[in-house]
Structure 1
Amino acid sequence: MADKNKKNTQTYMPDEQTFQQRLAARNRQGLFGRLFYYFSIGIAILALITLFVNVVNQSFGAIAESFTINPEELAGEGRTFEELNAQELADILVEYGANLRVLVRDRMSSVDPSVFTTSTLRELEPNANYPEGYADTTVNDISALDNGNEILAEFLALNLSDVDLRNIVLEDIAELQVLQAWGLFDSILNWEPGAAQQQRAADIVTEMQATDDAQVELASQLEDLEGQVSDLRAAGTDDNRAQITSLNEQITELRTQIDANRDAYDDLRNELETLVESFITTETQALYCTGEFVQINTKSPEELVTVMTTPYSEAGCRTEVIRYQSWLDVDFLQTPMSSTPAQAGIRTAILGSLLMMAIVILVSLPIGVGTAIYLEEYASQNFFNRLIETNVRTLAGVPSIIYGLLGLAIFVRLLAPVTSGIIFGVNVETRTDRQAITAIHNGLGVDDIYEFNDEDQYVGINADGTLTTDQAESLLVTFLRLGNAGISNLYGSISTEVATNDVRNSLGIDGEIPDDPEAVIELDGGKSITVAQFNSLERGLEQFASFTVNGRTILSASLTLALLILPIVIINAQEALRAVPFAVREASYGLGATKWQTI
C-alpha cells in the first residue's frame, strides 16, 4: 500500500524540468492574452478619442452666410443684433414690411385658417398676452386700422421669446442663408492661403499655359506629318513605303506626347481646383462671390489664380460673410427648430424626450414591478403562470423593430382615438357660435343671410332662400359634436371627418342631390337653397371641421417604448427580489410583519 501511495504521489507531481516547461508555456499563453487585451483596450480608446475629436470638430467651426440685409445693420449704430429685445425686433418687422398677419397665423393662432381673419386675438390664443384694448378685436378689424401692423407686432412681442423673434427677422427680413460650413480643424488650419500656396497657384497657371502652347505646337507638327503621309500615299510608288513607315512611327510618338500633355494639363487643373477648395476664404470667394452658386470647375485658370491671390476682404463679396460658429452652446439647447441651420436648436427634441421618458417611467415602472412581485411572491406554479413567465423572458429578446411595428398598428392606428386624446375630450377646443355660423355663411357664399343681435346670438334675416335660426343651430350642434380642426398641443393634432350624411341630416335634406347647380333643394320649415349653395356649404363645412384622427403622438411613442422595456423591468425586479436572503424574510415575519409589509 505504501509503494502504491508513493507511486501515485510521484505521478501527480511533475519533476522540476517538466514543471518549468509547463510554467513557461502558461506564461506564453498569458502573455498573448495580455497583449490581445492591451490591443483591444487601445483600439477602444482610440475609437473613443476619434469620436470625441469628431464631435469637437463638428461642434465648432466657420460658416459662410448670405443675406439681403446685414443683421448688424438692423441693430443700429453702437449695438449688436443679439442685444435687441422682443419689442425692438417686432418694430423691425413693421419697418421692413413683414407680413404680420401671416406671422400671427403661423405662430400664435390655434383656430382654423378659414376663420382666422374673423377671429379675435383672444380666440386665436386664449392664454396669451394682448395689446391693451385689442383682446376682443378681430384680425380683420385690426388690419383695417392705420396702426394695425404695430398692434399685431406688439401681439407677437408680448408672447414670443427674443430667440423666436430673432429667427423670424433673420428668415423674413435679412433672408439669411447658410451657404457652407467647415469644421474646427479646417477653420484653424485652412482659413486662407499663405504666400507659398499663392505662388504655387501662379506657377500652376504658368505651367498650364506652357503645356497648352506645347500642345498647339505638337498638333501643328502632327498635321504636317499626316499631310506628308497623304502625299506619299498619293504618289503610290514602292520607294515611298519605307518613308511612310518612318513618318507613321513619328505620328504615333506625337500622339503619345499629345495625350501625355493633355493628362498633364488636366492634372494641373485638378491641382489648382483642389488648392482653391482647400481654403475657406478662397472656396467661398470662388463659389459665391458672383452673387450665386458657381461651380469651381467652370472658372478659368486665370480666375482661379485671382481668387487665390485676392484677399477675401477685398473681393467685393458684400452679401457673404464668413464667421466662426459654435454649434454647442446654451442657445443651441434653448432654441427650437428652425429652417435656418445657424439658428436651429434642440429644445423641442429635449423637451419631447424628457416628456416621453416621464410617461415611460409612469407606465412601465408600476406595471413592471407589480408584475414581478406577483410572479415572484404570489403566483402559484400552475400552467398559466408558467406561460406568463416564459413569455416575459421571450419578449425580452424580441427585436425593437417588432415593437415599433406593433406600436404603429395598435397605438397609432387601432387606438388612435385614445392616444390622440379625443375620446377623453382632450384637445377639443369648441368653436364659439359666431365662428361656427360664420363658417356656415362662408360656405353658402352669400353676404346677407345672418346677423348677430346684442346678445351675440344668430338671427336669420331673409325670408326666402336662407337658413332659419333652428337650422343654423342644428348645424352648430353638428360642429360641436364633431370637434374642430387646427388644434395642436402636446398630444398632437386631433381631428374628425364630417360625413356628407351629417350635413344633409342637419339641413333636413332627403334623397339625392340634383346635378343641376340651379336646382332648388327643399329644407325643413318650407325653406330652400340651391344645389350650388349646398355644394358651397358642404365644402365650407369640410374645410372647417374635416380632417383625420392623428394617432402619431408622443403618447403612442411612450407606450411603445414602455412596452419595449417592460419585460426587462419585470426580469430585473424578479432578480432583485430573489437576491434578498431568506433570513431577512424570516426576521420580518418574526417581528410580526405581514407578507405585503415584508415585500
Structure 2
Amino acid sequence: MASRNRHHPVGAEAFPEKTKHYMPGEKAFYQRLEKRHQRGRLGRLFNLFSVSVAGLALIALFLNVANEAFGTIGVVNTIEPAALTGGPALDTLTNEELAAILLEHVGRRLRVFIRDTISQVPKEDFTKATVTEIVGDPNVDPAIADELLKSISHEDQAALLAKYADNATLRRLVLEEVVEQQVIASFPLSDTIFNFETIKAQIEGPILADYIKRQRLEAAEVTVIRFHSWLDSEFLTKPMSSAPALAGVRTALIGSAGLMIVVVLVALPIGVGAAIYLEEYAHRGLINRLIETNVRNLAGVPSIIYGMLGLAIFVRALAPFTSGMVFHVNFEAPTIETVVERISPVFVGGITYENGALSADSAQLDEQSAQQLVDVFLRYGTPSLTMQGNSDVSEMADALAEALDMTVDVVVTRVSKPHDIEMRGKTYRFDVAEGSLDDEAFDALMSSLARSNSFSPNGRTLLSAGLTLALLILPIIIINAQEAIRAVPYTIREASYGLGATRWQTIWRQILPAATPGIMTGTILSVSRAVGETAPLIVVGAATFLLTDPTSPFSQFTAMPIQIYQWTARPQGQFADIAAAAIIVLLALMLALNAVAIVLRNRYSIRF
C-alpha cells in the first residue's frame, strides 16, 4: 500500500493539466470573438466618456449661470425709502401713497409715466388724446374726461396713476425715479460663499469711495446684500429698465410667447399639409424626390440666411401688410376733419367742416374746389395707394392744380431757393402760371400733401419675426411629420380602403390620429429651437430696449434671446448678472417645452 502511494502521490501533481483540443478553425474563431469583445468594451468606455463629458459640460453651464445669477451686491439709494415713507417699507404702501410720492418729487414727469404705463393710445396720438381715450375708461371723472392730459393738474394726473397703474409699476417708478436705487458693485456666488468678508470690505471701502467721487457726492451709504438673487418673481413681471436692479424680462417673455403663437399657427398646418401631400398623394417621381431632397437640405441652412430672407420679404416687400398699414393699424388714416385742419390755414378765411358739410369762407376757392382739394388729400393719404411706394411728386402736383383750377409748372432743380421744396432726395420748384394761389401758398399745400403721402411702413414687427421663424422650422416640421405618417402601418390604410373610405377619410380618421403624437413632438421640439434663435431676430429688427409690451402682431417686439444678447453686450457687470438670470428663465422655458413633448409622446403614442 505504501509503495503504491509512493508511486501515485495525491495532489495537483496526481492530475496533470489536460491540453485543450480545438476543432479545425475553432481557435481562430475564439480569437476573433475575443477581439470583438475588446472592441465592444472600448466602445462602451468611449460612450461612457462621451456621456460624462456632456454631463460635465451641462453641470459647468448651470454652475456658471447660477454663479452669476446669485451673489452679493452693494446698493446705494439717492433717497432712502424710509425717509420717503416715514418708516414703512415701499411694499406696504397703497397706490395712492406711491402716487403721492411721485407727485411730490417728480410731478413734472407724471405725463411721461402715464404715457409709458397706462396709456391706451399710440404714442403719436398721446398729446392730442383726451383723458378718456388715454385710460380707456368711459367712467373716468367727468370733470377731466374730455380734457387733454396736459390741461389737467398734476394732482389729477397722480390720481390717474393711482387708479389705473398696478402697485408693482408704481413701486418701480418710485425706486427708479425718486429713490434712484443703484447697484454699485456685484460679486458672484463663489466669492459670496468663500470671501464674503473681503468683498464686503471692498464694497464699503474703495468701491463706495470711488462712487462718491464719480457722482460728486459729499457722502453716501451703501447696503451690502448677501446671497442676493437676481431671479425672483418681480424679475418675471417687471419691464426693461436702464438700471439693472429694476430690470425685468416681462416684455421679452411676452414677445417670445407671441412669436411662439405665430410660429405654431403658420408652420404647423403648412408643414403637416406638405407632409401629407408628399407621403400620401405625391407620386415617387423625379420632381417629388427633388422636393424632398431640398426640404431636407433646407433643414440645415444657417438661421442667419432665414433672417436675410425674412428681411427681404416680410420686413420690406410685405411691409404694408406686416406693419398693419393695410388694416389701418399703427397708421392714422386721413379723414375730412384732419385734412381740413391741415389745409385751412393756407387760405384766407379758411375752410370749415361741420355737420357733414364742407364750406369755404375764402375768396380763393369755392365749395366745389374745396371738396376736390379734400378729395386729393384723402386719395393720396390712403395707404393702399402706396403699396408699391409713394406717389410721384409731379402726379400729386397735377392733381392739386386740377382741383384748384390752376396751371403749375413742376421743375426739378439743383439750386435751392427760399420757396423750393426738398422731397425724396430731390429739390422741386412749383411755378404758378395761372390760378388763385401764389407760389408760396401752393408750395405750402404741396409740402403738406407730400408729407401726408410719405408713408414709411415699419415691417419690423412681431408678425414679420414670427413668419421668419416659421420658415426656419418649416422643413423640420415637414420631415418629422413625414416620419410620423410613414410609421403608421400600411395595413391600416388597406383596412380603411376595404371598408369603403376615401383617401381623405383614411388620412383624416386613421392616419393623422395615429401620427399625431409624433407630429406634435416634432413640432414642440422645433418651436423650442425657434424660441432660442437670435440671429434671425436681429436681422429682422427686434428691439433691444423696449418699455412697452407688444399688444398685437403688428407691434414692435423683443424676445428672450435678444434681451440676453443686449444685456451681455453692456459694459456694466450687473447686466451680465441679470443676463444669467434671464438665461435660467429661457432654459426653464425650453426644458418645459421638451418635457411637454416627452409627455405627449408617451401618453398618446400607439403601438403597432
Quickly name the TM-score band, shorter chain normalised.
0.5 to 0.7
Unaligned runs of 5+ in 2: 1-21, 421-428, 508-608
Structure 1 residues 129 and 394: CA distance shift in structure 2, 3 A: farther
Matches within 5 A, 1:393-432: 393-430=296-333
Amino acid at match of 1:292: Q
Say if 2:381 and 2:452, in contact at 8 Å, map to a contact too. no
Say if 1:372 and 1:573, in contact at 8 Å, map to a contact too. yes
Distance 2:394 2:96 in 1: 50
What percent identity do the matched residue pairs reach?
A: 42
Distance 1:461 1:174 in 2: 57
Question: C-alpha deviations, 1:262-310, integer Å up to 9, x for none?
Answer: xxxxxxxxxxxxxx8984433423422435389xxxxxxxxxxxxxxxx
From 233, 236, 244, the equivalent of 1:330 is: 233
Distance 2:120 2:400 in 1: 29
My pick for the range that moved more, 431-440 or 560-569, is 431-440
- Is 2:111 the counterpart of 1:101? yes
Work out which of the two has the higher radius of gyration on C-alpha atoms and give 1 or 2.
Answer: 1
Say if 2:410 and 2:431, in contact at 8 Å, map to a contact too. no
Deviation at 1:482, TM superposition (A): 4.1
Say if 2:79 and 2:179, in contact at 8 Å, map to a contact too. yes
Q: Which residue of 2 aligns with 1:343?
A: 246
Matches within 5 A, 1:67-78: 67-74=77-84, 76-78=85-87
Matches within 5 A, 1:2-401: 10-14=23-27, 19=30, 29-74=39-84, 76-96=85-105, 97-107=107-117, 108=119, 110-111=121-122, 113=124, 116-124=126-134, 126=136, 130-140=140-150, 142-143=151-152, 148-193=153-198, 279-290=202-213, 292=215, 317-318=219-220, 320-324=222-226, 325-401=228-304
- Secondary structure of 2:213's counterpart equals coil
Q: Which residue of 2 aligns with 1:206?
A: none
Distance 1:124 1:447 in 2: 35
Distance 2:301 2:310 in 1: 14
Question: C-alpha deviations, 1:420-448, integer Å up to 9, x for none?
Answer: 22234444344665555445568x6x998
My pick for the range that moved more, 506-515 or 148-157, is 506-515
Deviation at 1:13, TM superposition (A): 0.9
Structure 1 residues 44 and 520: CA distance shift in structure 2, 3 A: closer
- Secondary structure of 1:339's counterpart equals coil
Say if 2:78 and 2:179, in contact at 8 Å, map to a contact too. yes
Deviation at 1:534, TM superposition (A): 5.6
Distance 2:78 2:39 in 1: 70
Structure 1 residues 291 and 80: CA distance shift in structure 2, 3 A: farther
Distance 1:371 1:287 in 2: 63
From 374, 377, 382, the equivalent of 1:481 is: 382
Say if 2:73 and 2:187, in contact at 8 Å, map to a contact too. yes
Amino acid at match of 1:189: F
Greater RCO (Cα-Cα under 8 Å, separation 6 or more): 2
- Secondary structure of 1:549's counterpart equals coil
Q: Which residue of 2 aligns with 1:564?
A: 472
- Secondary structure of 1:51's counterpart equals helix
Deviation at 1:154, TM superposition (A): 2.7
Structure 1 residues 439 and 62: CA distance shift in structure 2, 3 A: farther
Deviation at 1:413, TM superposition (A): 1.4
Say if 1:62 and 1:181, in contact at 8 Å, map to a contact too. yes
Distance 2:448 2:179 in 1: 38
Amino acid at match of 1:422: M
Say if 2:120 and 2:134, in contact at 8 Å, map to a contact too. yes
Amino acid at match of 2:73: I
Question: C-alpha deviations, 1:155-189, integer Å up to 9, x for none?
Answer: 33343333333333333333333333222233343
Say if 1:191 and 1:280, in contact at 8 Å, map to a contact too. no
- Secondary structure of 1:64's counterpart equals strand
Question: C-alpha deviations, 1:445-495, integer Å up to 9, x for none?
Answer: x99856776x59776556569998547744662575249xxxxxxxxxx99
Q: Which residue of 1 aligns with 2:567?
A: none
Structure 1 residues 517 and 41: CA distance shift in structure 2, 3 A: closer
Question: C-alpha deviations, 1:179-202, integer Å up to 9, x for none?
Answer: 332222333433334xxxxxxxxx
Q: Which residue of 2 aligns with 1:263?
A: none
Question: C-alpha deviations, 1:104-125, integer Å up to 9, x for none?
Answer: 4455273564x65443234446
Distance 2:138 2:51 in 1: 57
Structure 1 residues 538 and 189: CA distance shift in structure 2, 3 A: farther
Distance 1:571 1:378 in 2: 16
Distance 1:560 1:520 in 2: 45
Unaligned runs of 5+ in 1: 1-8, 194-275, 295-315, 484-493
Distance 1:95 1:447 in 2: 47
Structure 1 residues 52 and 573: CA distance shift in structure 2, 3 A: same
Say if 2:393 and 2:450, in contact at 8 Å, map to a contact too. no
Structure 1 residues 352 and 133: CA distance shift in structure 2, 3 A: same
Structure 1 residues 154 and 293: CA distance shift in structure 2, 3 A: same
Distance 2:469 2:164 in 1: 34
From 471, 492, 498, the equivalent of 1:584 is: 492
Distance 1:95 1:570 in 2: 60
Distance 2:93 2:56 in 1: 45
Say if 1:98 and 1:172, in contact at 8 Å, map to a contact too. no
Structure 1 residues 165 and 461: CA distance shift in structure 2, 3 A: farther
CA RMSD of aligned residues (A): 4.2
Distance 1:346 1:176 in 2: 19
Say if 1:111 and 1:124, in contact at 8 Å, map to a contact too. no
Distance 1:323 1:362 in 2: 46
Distance 1:528 1:577 in 2: 73
Q: Which residue of 1 aligns with 2:523?
A: none
Q: Which residue of 1 aligns with 2:409?
A: 511
My pick for the range that moved more, 181-190 or 514-523, is 514-523
- Secondary structure of 1:551's counterpart equals coil
Distance 1:433 1:169 in 2: 44
Distance 1:469 1:72 in 2: 64
- Secondary structure of 1:65's counterpart equals strand
